[in-house]
Amino acid sequence: MRLVYATFHNPYWQIATVWDVDDVYSVRPELNHDQAMKVLLEIISNHDTEIGINWEVLENTADYLYPKSGSEHHDIDTQEWECI
């Protein structure tokens, strides 16, 4: 599955909140770029509109994928992505 994320929206009809790897780094500074992108991709792939995306979701997803201390590592399927 190839995910394509548009870098635009129509401000007359839509609103958008942008989360990026720097936000992931703020909760888990030791992650590299690819790991931070996997966190964001996991979040968007399992987005719950009742909860939304927030700092707790970022931190919990990062901790799930990349546990801080000796816990079990949970890897997700690597998906191709491209920004247009």
**Nearest Cα residue to 43 out of 32, 30, 33, 52:** 52
Contact between residue 84 and residue 9 where contact means Cβ atoms under 8 Å apart: no
Identity at 82, one-letter amino acid code: E
Tens of pLDDT, residue by residue over 26-82, are 999 999 999 999 999 999 999 999 999 999 999 999 999 999 876 565 565 545 545
Number of folded domains in the chain? 1
Q: Which two tokens stand for residue 25?
A: 């780094």
Contact between residue 81 and residue 4 where contact means Cβ atoms under 8 Å apart: yes
pTM for the model:
0.73
Domain that holds residue 75: 2-83
Tens of pLDDT, residue by residue over 44-53, are 999 999 999 9
- Strand partners for 82: 4
Residues 6+ apart with CB under 8 A from 50: none
